[in-house]
Amino acid sequence: LAGTRIICDRKFLLECKNSPAARTPPCCLPQTPGVTSLAQSSLVKLEELKERNESEEAMPGEQPRAAAL
C-alpha cells in the first residue's frame, strides 16, 4: 500500500487550533443532514433515548439490566 505521510510538528498544530478558520464552519458549506449537521431522525432518536433513560431512573423497584446475571 502506497501513500503520502503528512508530518506536522506540535507547534504548528497548536497554532492551527487557535485559528479562526478552525472555530467556525466555512460559510459556503452546504447543510447536509447526518453529515454537516445532525440528521432530523437522529435528533428524534436522541430525545427518545433521553426520555427512556429518565423513565427507567424514575422506577426505583427494578434492578439494572447489567446487575442481573
Which pLDDT value is given to residue 56?
Answer: 79
Give the pLDDT confidence score for residue 42 in this predicted structure: 66
Residue 59 lies in a domain: no
- What is the pLDDT at residue 41? 66
Q: Which is it for the CA torsion 60, 62, 66, 68, positive or negative? A: positive
Q: How many domains does the chain have?
A: 1
Does residue 37 lie in a domain region?
Answer: yes
| pTM score of the predicted model | 0.29
Q: Considering only CA atoms, which of 27, 47, 28 is closest in space to residue 39?
A: 47
In a domain, 21, yes or no: no
Cell reading at 55: 423513565
pLDDT digits (tens, 9 = 90+) for 3-54: 888 888 999 989 888 888 787 777 777 877 777 776 666 667 778 888 888 8
Q: Is residue 7 part of a domain?
A: no
| Range of the structural domain that residue 31 is part of | 26-53
| Amino acid 54: pLDDT | 84
Considering the domain boundaries, does residue 8 fall inside one?
no
**Is residue 36 in a domain?**
yes
User: Number of C-alpha atoms within 13 angstroms, CB side, residue 6?
Assistant: 4
Residue 38 lies in a domain: yes
- Asked if residue 16 belongs to a domain, the reply is no
